[in-house]
A and B are shown apart, each in its own frame.
Chain A
């Protein structure tokens, strides 16, 4: 699942700008109406909805600053709605100022210009209006925001619903206790020894103003010693050199075959190979940038969020010399941002809580990078409260009974499950909708892995390991039914010697780390042969593992992976192929596709395999043609969701509000309903209740998607009979699709 590219985000931003313009006009009209007529609950409710819709839209199209201002506006109107704030001139002034603020900010956001400070100012004015202070008392933003301004912010949401601060008996990998100085023992234990480094590169301030500048290389001018060039030229160079190297190897085998000369005995040939190798290394190096070029962005996020949540946090970096392919680093930006925000939000305790536990008031978040062979390992660690494994287990246990029996280490990894992250993270300063499952999905896209370790009371560490470059893929090569296949090493969990399998509930299972894993032969999964008694390769997809029996393990190889071309339909089980030096083709398999195929085969449903893997380019595959009804009064959100689901192969219907949704449903029963909360005429809760009351729709899963994340809302949603509750935010279609797929899968 690839995220929409820049173009489509820009498209949606423009769409949102047009929509917001209309809504802001409505807001002003209604506001002036309100000023004339005094109290009018309906009008106030409508004003609130408009502000809310703008907030939701802004968050979804990736305009967080606009969303924050709209949020403040919404909060102010909420005060009015709850009769806690009278409609008077200062209030109208404040709302109008907020509207004007948003009006100015949106074009800046669309143009990609810096508008953070302006947004902060606008937000502060609104916040002060909420607390009843006048604009004259406005603080000097941003660093010195006084408690008065902070106090009206929602309290920081806790990790996994308020982990209590008791220690967990039987916590799997015991880690050193926190030292009084606050140095993270985890980081040290994890192999990040070495001197501490200054907190950030010197260019940090400039980079913070334009976070992309430092890492995108924009705005750098060419000098006598540097040349600027488009990235694709370097990419072309890398690709061509790769092809030249491959051609040289083929030349070598041709020499041997046709002339009977061993090419390695020829000095000329050896020189050519050596030069090409050097060239390849140089070209790959041209794509490398320091991992820490991301640090300014992350530091900024830490600072902002710490200020927002009233915490004291120091951000430290180490590993300035670790470099990585910029294509890989691009894809790491969001996951790292998410982990760092999580660390501030959920990891680091508020100062008084830290005092209670004799910890330094200032928490520490560390970003460490180091190169290990062909991988770069990046660790995000904090010295906060750690992850409460029991709570994670409990939360997961609601949907998966097996979670209750898991040991602590296994249970800790439940935080990467989509269901869990959406279910437990409903409030959200850091909960920008991107769950840890999405982090893992992003990492999977760059063939990376993530590990987590946590010590209650002492801190948490997330370690990400990614290949330095994606130009080649390290694979395990196996024989199966007379054919040779490569399995990407990043998806191999373990290799098991030949062993008997047991049958559990009709499925063949083997044990790995004390847990049962389904097992079948690779040949039968691929349909190329039958069972074998050879060793088994345990592959892991995003959510499941599966053991695949093969005839032999051959070796490990770096494979330059190519696609299979446009003529062949996409094959979920085949990632691509590489041309070997002897001219043969080595197929590279895809773990997730294999697991899915194996799973379908076990259910004896060959027809569904064919259906699932049928033509996906020309028409939506049958198994995905499930229909989704998207209910949202915001055009931008509706269209964005429509595009996300249609791209994923679903059929999409849309409705403007609850009433319209029910009308649509009576025409055609959707397979799933995704609804906003705040809507005119009939809101999402009422819609959910109405759906649940009708027996024809009793089994239609309902997901409530909202930008308003309060416990009360969530409780109401679940009481109304919703199957899921997701906080929407910028382009998090990974989590959304996962949630939808999960619910549809459960229903099927």
Chain B
């Protein structure tokens, strides 16, 4: 799978901006399958806190993950959008708290230290977006934590 080895977002490429709370993250369009509006989530008791539940995409059962908790930040309060991403271990949904938009990335303005992220990009005049490293972020081990 190309998205496993390729960087998650590359300058000049199209990326999906994913708002999570007050932050914005960037995902390479190569890893994004689609965006689902208001996913109908079934809670999954006994699952780790980062798993908000499972939802049905055309007969497939897909987990919906709390993007905030996954990054070690505060949990999301609502789940109006789910960004479906491809991982080496299957498809997962990441919560976006506002409508994700596609942009063309400019040059990186710096490296991001946060685990599961790569570079920081300037989008618009003042907004920063941190690119997510999906294979690292969405490993079964990390989800189990």
Please list the residues of chain A having a beta carbon within 8 angstroms of any beta carbon in chain B: 243, 246-247, 250, 483, 526-528, 562-569, 571-574, 577, 579, 583-587, 597, 613-615, 617-618
Instruction: Name B140's contact: one of A483, A584, A585, A615 (CB within 8 Å).
Output: A615
Please list the residues of chain B having a beta carbon within 8 angstroms of any beta carbon in chain A: 40, 42-48, 51, 54-56, 58-59, 61-63, 87, 89-92, 138, 140-141, 143-145
What chain B residues lie within 8 Å of A586 (beta carbons)? Answer: 42
Task: Please name the residue on chain B nearest to A563 by beta carbon.
Answer: B61
**A523 CA to B51 CA, complexed, in Å:** 18
A617 touches B42 (CB 8 A): no
Task: Please name the residue on chain B nearest to A528 by beta carbon.
Answer: B45
A571 touches B144 (CB 8 A): no
Task: Please name the residue on chain B nearest to A615 by beta carbon.
Answer: B144
A-B pairs, 8 with minimum CB distance? A615-B144, A526-B45, A618-B141, A566-B89, A585-B42, A569-B144, A565-B90, A567-B89
**A564 CA to B144 CA, complexed, in Å:** 14
B45 touches A569 (CB 8 A): no
A566 touches B54 (CB 8 A): no
**A558 CA to B90 CA, complexed, in Å:** 26
**A312 CA to B12 CA, complexed, in Å:** 85
A583 touches B45 (CB 8 A): no
A579 touches B43 (CB 8 A): no
Task: Please name the residue on chain B nearest to A480 by beta carbon.
Answer: B45
A527 touches B141 (CB 8 A): no
Instruction: Name A615's contact: one of B90, B138, B145 (CB within 8 Å).
Output: B145
**A164 CA to B10 CA, complexed, in Å:** 82
CB of B65 to closest CB in A, whole Å = 8
Q: A246-B59, A585-B55 are in contact. Are A567 and B143 (CB under 8 A)?
A: yes
A579 touches B45 (CB 8 A): no
What chain B residues lie within 8 Å of A528 (beta carbons)? Answer: 43, 45
A567 touches B87 (CB 8 A): yes
Instruction: Name A567's contact: one of B40, B58, B140 (CB within 8 Å).
Output: B140
Task: Please name the residue on chain A nearest to B41 by beta carbon.
Answer: A585
Instruction: Name A527's contact: one of B46, B54, B62 (CB within 8 Å).
Output: B46
Instruction: Name A584's contact: one of B42, B87, B89, B91 (CB within 8 Å).
Output: B42
What chain B residues lie within 8 Å of A571 (beta carbons)? Answer: 44, 46-47
What chain A residues lie within 8 Å of B40 (beta carbons)? Answer: 583-584
Task: Please name the residue on chain B nearest to A242 by beta carbon.
Answer: B59
A584 touches B46 (CB 8 A): no
Q: A565-B90, A587-B44 are in contact. Are A618 and B54 (CB under 8 A)?
A: no
B46 touches A618 (CB 8 A): no
Task: Please name the residue on chain B nearest to A243 by beta carbon.
Answer: B59
Task: Please name the residue on chain B nearest to A250 by beta carbon.
Answer: B59
Q: A567-B87, A613-B46 are in contact. Are A579 and B56 (CB under 8 A)?
A: yes
**A483 CA to B45 CA, complexed, in Å:** 10
What chain A residues lie within 8 Å of B141 (beta carbons)? Answer: 615, 617-618
**A235 CA to B140 CA, complexed, in Å:** 28
Q: A567-B92, A615-B141 are in contact. Are A579 and B61 (CB under 8 A)?
A: yes
CB of B94 to closest CB in A, whole Å = 11
**A579 CA to B42 CA, complexed, in Å:** 11
Given pairs A567-B89, A568-B63, 14 additional interface contacts (CB within 8 A): A483-B42, A563-B61, A565-B90, A567-B90, A568-B44, A568-B48, A569-B47, A569-B48, A571-B44, A574-B46, A579-B61, A583-B40, A585-B61, A587-B42
A573 touches B45 (CB 8 A): yes
**A243 CA to B45 CA, complexed, in Å:** 26
**A587 CA to B51 CA, complexed, in Å:** 15
A565 touches B143 (CB 8 A): no
Task: Please name the residue on chain B nearest to A526 by beta carbon.
Answer: B45
B44 touches A618 (CB 8 A): no
CB of A551 to closest CB in B, whole Å = 15
**A579 CA to B87 CA, complexed, in Å:** 22
Instruction: Name A564's contact: one of B44, B48, B56, B59 (CB within 8 Å).
Output: B44
CB of A345 to closest CB in B, whole Å = 43
Q: A526-B46, A587-B42 are in contact. Are A562 and B61 (CB under 8 A)?
A: yes
What chain A residues lie within 8 Å of B45 (beta carbons)? Answer: 483, 526-528, 573-574, 587
CB of B31 to closest CB in A, whole Å = 14
Q: Could you pull out 25 A-B pairs where Cβ atoms are within 8 angstroms?
A: A243-B59, A247-B59, A483-B45, A564-B54, A565-B89, A565-B90, A566-B140, A567-B63, A567-B89, A568-B47, A569-B48, A569-B140, A571-B44, A571-B46, A577-B54, A579-B56, A583-B40, A585-B56, A587-B42, A587-B44, A614-B144, A615-B141, A615-B145, A617-B144, A618-B140
What chain B residues lie within 8 Å of A584 (beta carbons)? Answer: 40, 42, 56
**A246 CA to B61 CA, complexed, in Å:** 13
What chain A residues lie within 8 Å of B44 (beta carbons)? Answer: 564, 568, 571, 574, 587
**A564 CA to B59 CA, complexed, in Å:** 12
**A563 CA to B54 CA, complexed, in Å:** 11
What chain A residues lie within 8 Å of B43 (beta carbons)? Answer: 483, 528
What chain A residues lie within 8 Å of B62 (beta carbons)? Answer: 565
**A395 CA to B72 CA, complexed, in Å:** 55
CB of B59 to closest CB in A, whole Å = 5
A579 touches B59 (CB 8 A): yes
B63 touches A564 (CB 8 A): yes
